[in-house]
Amino acid sequence: MKRIRKILKISLLGAVIAAAIGYVWIWGSPVGVNNYVNKVTVQMALRSPEITTQLGLIDNSLVDFHSHKLDSYTAQTDRELLTFLVDSRRGLDRYGPRGLEGKALLNWKVVAWLWDDWIRQQRLTYSSYRVNQISGPMVDIPKFLTDRHIIEDRSSLNNYIARLREFARVIGEVKVRVIDDRDHGLVPPDFIIQQAIIGMRAFADGGAQNNPLITTLADKLDAIEDLSESQKVQLSAEAESIVETQILPLYAEMIEVFEALLPLSNNHAGIWRLPRGAEIYQKALHSQNSTTLSAEEIHHLGLSEVGRIEGEMEQILVDNGLAKGPIVDRIRYLMTLPEHNFANTEAGRAAQIAYLNRVNDQLMAKVAEFFITIPSQPLEILRIPEYAEDAAPGGYYTPPAFDGSAPGRFYINQKNTADNPRWTLPTLMYHEGSPGHHFQLSASQLMEDVPFLLKLSPFNAYSEGWALYSERIAKTDMGMYKTNPLGDLGRLQAEMFRAVRLVVDTGIHAKRWSRERAIDYMLSKTGMTEAEVTREIERYVVWPGQATAYKVGQLALLKLRANAETQLGAAFDLRQFHEMILLNGAMPLEVLEESVDLWIQQQLAPNNQG
């Protein structure tokens, strides 16, 4: 799919609808930057039934107008969205930047940058592999139907069945787009085609009765009190029939389309292989990193960081009696030691999650020394659903629901507990949980005087940069590894992983590295398994530039903090710095630099001196 659609869904844009509607409609006609952006956000979200469902507030209510529908995936819909974005961006100029100052000016700059970026991405019609092994409607919509569509009564069940029929319509629309992409020179690499086929076959081969669209339905039917057993059987059979006769045949057709693509493809991994590929990658780097860093600059930045981190890892390994052999071999040896691993059983998985909770409790006991605003929203640690483990990363975070109905959630991949030995887990916890994504995304919901769109943190380099920055301060400021040198090695291994990403992403897409060369490089530096590395490299192939944002964002935050410490000297207050970064919210790094400079000047002002 186009990246604009992915941004909206990943950002959970639908979660703003109710709040934004209340803000705009209660207070009358939109006045000022915030109200205008809120109005446009509502209009944008209401264009998508899927995004509206992610709201979770008006589904199954009297104003539920969408729960029986899925989005349109046609080229015409994309053209209409581009027109809407261009018109909306033009309208923003009526509200600034002239005449604005302070928070209003900052909001205007952030939204203007975001909408300009969305327009740039939307104009690149043939720039992404809309069906691949990890994303796109063939992967995302089944997850949406099983995880996001709430079934609580007969009406919501009927809507689910209607959406199953809609899914068949969507697959047909996507098939048309895939063929059109092919006719315009957009064919995925052969190994991506093969992985997409494997995924589609895994979904379809078991038949309707064993399909997750049906197997996840049984418990939901049992929870509906006003359905008789005969009605449950009838409705389940209806759903199964739709999957059997409408959805699975279309999966078979899509598989045939992808099999026919194989002779047209090759194993070149980089986006350079596409028409306008160099332009696509440059714009992807700009979009993901929100800086003007070139691919060459990012590549050399990665090589420099890899060298620095190797030196620090070497010292820890030597200090712990592991002085011989390549660094990566010594790390792999540590990863295999039984005393560092949880059993790959249900009991072992439960013990792993219990350990993560203890790590979180230890950190939370110290956070008041380093942060002013502590998230009131709870954090829950859960296993990634088994059906999603193969394509999922090691862990990820989903923010709390705006209405308080769901906590922040850190999901860990427990397909094989040996992928995450005990000494690697604290850093993963600090990144996905506190003070990483949980602090940042929870704090964003508490911001005041901003458009609701900006509470969703739609800036990758800021959000992932903060999470990686959090890994660093857990050591340098919070002292979480004082008695755990192997935990610090785990931190460095995670940082190495992000530094290597700078090298391989730019290597693949700008320097024409092969998939195999990128895999070999990552294997030689990280200590990860070949299966893990292969999944990672293939992810970078279909999401150009995304993986570079973590380290670019972290280094930008560290540079801004160092500048503030230098200029403010003894007046520098780390708690106030963190408060400013978090409560101003996510923004492009280009704008963040301006924001931090302004904060420094405010701290230096005479009325701020003690």
Rounded to whole angstroms, how far apart are CA atoms 100 and 562? 29
Instruction: Count other C-beta atoms under 10 Å from residue 180's C-beta.
Output: 14
- Could you tell me the two tokens for 334? 């540590």
Boundary of a domain, candidates 547, 566, 582: 547
Query: Is 608 within a domain?
Result: no
State the pLDDT at residue 110: 95
What does the pLDDT average to over 460-470? 96
Burial 219-258, CB ≥16 within 10 A → b, else e = ebbeebeebeeeebeebbeebbebbeebbbebbeebbebb
pLDDT exceeds 60 at position 610? no
pLDDT band at 609; cut points 50, 70, 90: low
Q: How far is CA 21 from CA 51, 327, 457, 500, in A?
A: 15, 55, 19, 44
Q: Say which range, 69-73, 347-351, 442-446, has the weakest mean pLDDT.
A: 442-446
% of the chain beyond a pLDDT of 90: 76
Positions of E strands within 284-413: 379-383, 395-398, 408-412
| Closest by Cα among 540, 516, 482, 565 to 267 | 516
Question: Tens digits of per-residue pLDDT, 213-258?
Answer: 999 998 899 889 888 899 999 999 999 999 999 999 999 999 999 9
Query: Is 211 within a domain?
Result: no
Phi, psi dihedrals of residue 410, rounded to the nearest 5°: -105, 115
pLDDT exceeds 70 at position 8? no
- Could you tell me the two tokens for 164? 């199953």
Rounded to whole angstroms, how far apart are CA atoms 487 and 435? 17
State the pLDDT at residue 230: 92
| Closest by Cα among 216, 213, 49, 36 to 142 | 213
Phi-psi region of 136 (alpha: psi -120 to 50; beta: other; left: phi over 0): left
Rounded to whole angstroms, how far apart are CA atoms 67 and 48? 11
Rounded to whole angstroms, how far apart are CA atoms 224 and 453? 35
State the pLDDT at residue 450: 87
State the pLDDT at residue 405: 74
What does the pLDDT average to over 436-460? 88
- Could you tell me the two tokens for 598? 């302004």
Average pLDDT value over all residues in the chain: 91
Q: Partners of 381 in the beta sheet?
A: 410
Please tell me the pTM assigned to this model: 0.90
Query: Is 460 within a domain?
Result: yes
Question: Tens digits of per-residue pLDDT, 62-113?
Answer: 888 898 999 999 999 999 999 999 999 999 999 999 999 888 899 999 999 9
Boundary of a domain, candidates 76, 98, 125: 125
Question: Tens digits of per-residue pLDDT, 169-185?
Answer: 999 999 999 999 999 99
Query: Is 290 within a domain?
Result: no
| Closest by Cα among 435, 355, 430, 441 to 395 | 430
Query: Is 47 within a domain?
Result: yes
Q: Classify residue 276 as exposed, middle or buried by CB count within 10 Å of its CB (0-12, 13-18, 19+).
A: middle
Q: How far is CA 561 from CA 285, 568, 576, 591, in A?
A: 23, 10, 11, 15
Boundary of a domain, candidates 65, 98, 125: 125
Question: Tens digits of per-residue pLDDT, 113-126?
Answer: 999 999 999 999 99
Q: Which residues form the domain of 67?
A: 1-125
Query: Is 62 within a domain?
Result: yes
Check: CB of residue 537 under 8 Å from CB of residue 522. yes
What does the pLDDT average to over 539-560? 97
Rounded to whole angstroms, how far apart are CA atoms 415 and 494? 19
Q: How far is CA 94 from CA 35, 100, 318, in A?
A: 13, 11, 62
Check: CB of residue 560 under 8 Å from CB of residue 592. yes
pLDDT band at 529; cut points 50, 70, 90: confident
- Could you tell me the two tokens for 244? 């059997």
Query: Is 213 within a domain?
Result: no
Check: CB of residue 408 under 8 Å from CB of residue 379. yes
Rounded to whole angstroms, how far apart are CA atoms 529 and 11? 30
Number of domains forming the structure of the chain: 2
Per DSSP, the residues of 179-203 read: HHHHHTT----HHHHHHHHHHHHHH
pLDDT exceeds 90 at position 476? yes
Query: Is 506 within a domain?
Result: yes
Rounded to whole angstroms, how far apart are CA atoms 46 and 63? 12
What does the pLDDT average to over 339-351? 96
Q: Say which range, 390-404, 438-452, 489-503, 548-562, has the weakest mean pLDDT.
A: 390-404
